[in-house]
Amino acid sequence: MADRPAQAITPARGFMAEHAHYDEDAGFWEAHADRLGGPVCDLGAAAGRVTVQLAQRGHEVWAVDTDPEMLMVIAERAAAAGVGDQVHPVLGSMTETLPIVDAGLIVAAMNTLQLLRSEDEQVACLSRAATALRPGGEMIFDLALPAFPAIGDILGEVLDTGSSLDPGTGDRLVHTARFETVNADTGDVRMRIMIARVHPGGTRTAVERLHHLHMYAPDEIPRLAERAGLMVLEAAGGFHGEPLSDNSERHVWRLGRSG
């Protein structure tokens, strides 16, 4: 296979390829969408990994993202999967009024809420969700569980986070990351994601993305939910209902409207 020109791999398509191997939450969002029913709103939908999966289950999905190119990729993927009529890409942020009412499920998958760094942003997002949910509907999201002492010990080190294949090009993707700053008092973290793309002919290209994130402690969520008019239905330590503990790698939350 000839090397694909690097310029042909746009940021959104590169992001889609970089996450094509991720399956830790396989079946999780589908099961909850089937349980709750639609319509569904996918916040920070990126390239539509979850959106298209849920549409293929027969659900109407509104996919919200701030990146027009991501939305274009979502529309293309939905059309290719035969669910273009069920997917509605929407340009917008997680803190704006949601383009949906009487939602059965609002999804924020794969640590997406960590992009909201201030409490005002966090409450705004949850408040918009509370307004958009129908009675009995739920907002469900997952977050990485912070391990600040451990992060401090590896600050500045390049971490090997695995490798995968781009199913579209055959390129091998080598994933690394580096924590650049961390503030355990505020939960503020800056980390750099680095992807080396090794083409079938042996040439290499690379991309880097700097992420400025808020790492939520579990005790933050109930307080934020209450301010937003939501209540905690379940807090788990994984996608299979594992107990949430200090040893968990993530925390997974189900919230419903209070009152």
- Both 29 and 128 in one domain: the answer is yes
Q: Is residue 4 domain-resident? A: no
* DSSP-derived secondary structure for 133-177: EEEEEEEEEEEEPP-HHHHHHTTT--EEEEEEE-TTT--EEEEEE
- Both 227 and 156 in one domain: the answer is no
Looking at residue 4, its pLDDT comes to 43
Domain boundary among 214, 229, 247: 214
- Both 210 and 156 in one domain: the answer is yes
Judge contact between 139 and 108, C-beta under 8 A: yes
- Both 91 and 47 in one domain: the answer is yes
Q: Is residue 115 domain-resident? A: yes
- Both 29 and 125 in one domain: the answer is yes
Tally of domains in the chain: 2
- Both 138 and 157 in one domain: the answer is no
Judge contact between 52 and 75, C-beta under 8 A: no
Tell which residue, 124, 62, 61, has the closest CA to residue 99: 62
Residue 85 DSSP SS3: helix
Distance of CA 133 to the CA centre of its chain: 19
Q: Is residue 6 domain-resident? A: no
Residue 70 identity: M
- Both 87 and 20 in one domain: the answer is yes
Q: Which tokens is 170 given?
A: 């055959």
Q: Is residue 3 domain-resident? A: no
Judge contact between 117 and 126, C-beta under 8 A: no
- Both 73 and 198 in one domain: the answer is no
Looking at residue 218, its pLDDT comes to 96
Looking at residue 5, its pLDDT comes to 43
Looking at residue 15, its pLDDT comes to 84
- Residue 194: count other Cβ atoms within 10 Å of its Cβ: 16
Q: Is residue 2 domain-resident? A: no
- Both 140 and 154 in one domain: the answer is no
CATH of the domain at 239: 3.40.50.150
Tell which residue, 28, 49, 46, 64, has the closest CA to residue 254: 28
Judge contact between 115 and 95, C-beta under 8 A: no
Q: Is residue 5 domain-resident? A: no
Q: Is residue 43 domain-resident? A: yes
Q: How far apart are the first and last CA of the chain?
A: 59
Paired with 176 in beta bridges are 160, 194
Residue 103 identity: A
Structural domain boundaries, residue 186 = 147-214
Q: For residues 46 and 51, what is the distance between their CA atoms, to the nearest angstrom? A: 9
Predicted TM-score of the model (pTM): 0.92
Residue 110 DSSP SS3: coil
- Both 209 and 167 in one domain: the answer is yes
User: 127-183 pLDDT, tens per residue?
Assistant: 999 999 999 999 999 999 988 989 999 999 999 999 999 888 889 999 999 999 999
Per-residue pLDDT of the chain (259 residues; tens, 9 = 90+): 344 444 357 888 888 888 878 889 989 999 999 999 999 999 999 999 999 999 999 999 999 999 999 999 999 999 999 999 999 999 999 999 999 999 999 999 999 999 999 999 999 999 999 999 999 999 999 999 988 989 999 999 999 999 999 888 889 999 999 999 999 999 999 999 999 999 988 899 999 999 999 999 999 999 999 999 999 999 999 999 999 999 999 999 999 999 7
- Both 171 and 124 in one domain: the answer is no
